[in-house]
């Protein structure tokens, strides 16, 4: 394997969560990735990864080499491309993203689909999760977060504020008492959404009352399943506007306790602080900021 190929394999390993994932992206075996990394380490007389039985993590020296190596690999591959392909390949490589599941399946994918069409050499790896992820350890380049983001390692842009509604189906409204205050929910069927970070139901938020969790009639760890349960009349649900808006407009869901609605939560797009920012990461970051800032369903 020549020096450029060794460097290319190492950069893929640095950007991936595991050597196995890097191998899958390159179409080679994990053993080839392991041998290539070991050869580079022997040649440089430096450890590029910390290895344990549970995980492989890049070293500080490895991160520095990966940044320099990626520029060299991209530059060399660009030089060797036919002229007709160079313009298209100006933005290329992998961008790893994370977003809440419902937001990621809908608005994030809609925002980024045109970017992939315009830049065929760009690859997006989207990981959907409500759980807080360690973006640095997971090699996340760009993320979307609902709620406060406090981490000095990130550059974050607040793009919108998402409103929350307490909703129920017309069928449930007809057969149950309509709550006049948040306290009335204690006697009504409630749909609870599990916080995957704690394993406990998310407490319901209100503008003029402390957060609390009424006894639920239906529990799920998927917020879209919670919305479906509300549509089926299984209970009252507290949903973000981007999940409830269409059903409120059609009359499939009815809002209650509107005067007690909580203060909208911030929606942020963030990226790991790098200097300079790779063009592919800047493109995805800027596109998400623009699209989510203009999205009416987040208000």
Which is it for strands 154-162 and 164-168: parallel, antiparallel or unpaired?
unpaired
Query: 95 with 125: CB under 8 angstroms?
Result: yes
Q: Is residue 58 part of a domain?
A: yes
Q: What's 217's domain CATH number?
A: 3.40.190.10
Q: What is the pLDDT at residue 214?
A: 80
Domain for residue 199, yes or no? yes
The string of DSSP letters for 5-62 reads: HHHHHHHHHHHSSSHHHHHHHHTS-HHHHHHHHHHHHHHHTS--EEE-SS-EEE-HHH
Q: Is residue 34 part of a domain?
A: yes
Handedness of CA 84, 86, 87, 89 (dihedral sign): positive
Domain assignment present for 212: yes
**Structural domain contains residue 187:** yes
| CATH code of the domain covering residue 51 | 1.10.10.10
- Which range of residues forms the domain containing residue 38? 1-80
Boundary of a domain, candidates 25, 60, 80: 80
CA distance 12 to 66: 9
What is the pLDDT at residue 82? Answer: 60
- 71 domain residue, yes or no: yes
Our CA angle for 52, 93, 284, nearest 5°, is 105
pLDDT value, residue 87: 47
In whole angstroms, give the CA distance from residue 37 to residue 11: 10
The total number of structural domains that make up the chain: 2
- Residue 75 in any domain: the answer is yes
Q: According to the model, what pLDDT value does residue 81 have?
A: 61
Q: Sign of the C-alpha dihedral, residues 232, 234, 235, 238?
A: negative
Residue 226 · residue 237 · CB < 8 Å: yes
Strand partners, 127: 98
The string of pLDDT tens digits covering residues 24-49 is 888 899 999 999 999 999 999 999 99
Residue where a domain terminates, one of 49, 80, 111: 80
Residue-level pLDDT, tens digit, the chain, 299 residues: 688 899 989 998 988 888 988 888 888 999 999 999 999 999 999 999 998 877 788 999 998 898 888 888 877 776 766 654 544 456 888 899 999 999 999 899 999 999 998 898 899 999 998 776 666 667 789 999 998 777 667 888 999 999 999 999 999 999 988 999 999 999 999 999 999 888 899 999 999 888 888 889 999 999 999 999 999 999 999 999 999 999 999 999 999 999 999 999 999 999 977 667 888 999 999 999 999 998 877 77
pLDDT of 58-68, one tens digit each? 999 998 898 88
How many Å apart are CA 296 and CA 79, to the nearest integer? 43
pLDDT at 74: 77
């Amino acid at each position: 394997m020549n020096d450029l190929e060794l460097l290319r394999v190492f950069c893929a390993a640095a950007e991936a969560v595991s050597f196995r994932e890097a191998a899958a992206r390159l179409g080679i075996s994990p053993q080839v990735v392991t041998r290539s990394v070991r050869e580079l380490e022997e040649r440089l007389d430096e450890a590029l990864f910390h290895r344990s039985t549970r995980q492989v993590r890049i070293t500080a020296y490895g991160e520095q080499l990966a940044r320099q190596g990626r520029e060299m690999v991209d530059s060399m591959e660009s030089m060797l491309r036919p002229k007709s392909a160079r313009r298209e390949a100006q933005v290329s490589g992998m961008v790893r993203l994370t977003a809440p599941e419902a937001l990621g399946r809908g608005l994030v994918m809609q925002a980024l689909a045109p970017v992939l069409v315009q830049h065929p050499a760009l690859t997006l790896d989207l990981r959907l999760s409500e759980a807080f992820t360690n973006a640095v350890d997971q090699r996340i380049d760009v993320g979307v977060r609902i709620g406060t983001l406090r981490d000095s390692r990130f550059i974050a842009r607040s793009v919108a504020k998402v409103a929350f509604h307490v909703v129920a189906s017309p069928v449930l409204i007809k057969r149950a008492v309509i709550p006049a205050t948040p306290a009335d929910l204690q006697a009504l069927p409630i749909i609870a959404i599990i916080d995957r970070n704690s394993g406990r139901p998310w407490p319901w938020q209100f503008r003029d009352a402390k957060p609390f969790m009424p006894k639920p009639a239906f529990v799920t760890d998927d917020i879209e399943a919670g919305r479906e349960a509300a549509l089926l009349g299984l209970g009252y649900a507290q949903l973000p506007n981007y999940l409830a808006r269409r059903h409120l407009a059609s009359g499939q869901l009815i809002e209650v306790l509107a005067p007690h609605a909580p203060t909208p939560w911030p929606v942020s797009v963030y990226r790991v602080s790098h200097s300079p920012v790779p063009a592919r990461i800047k493109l995805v970051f800027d596109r998400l900021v623009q699209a989510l800032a203009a999205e009416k369903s987040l208000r």
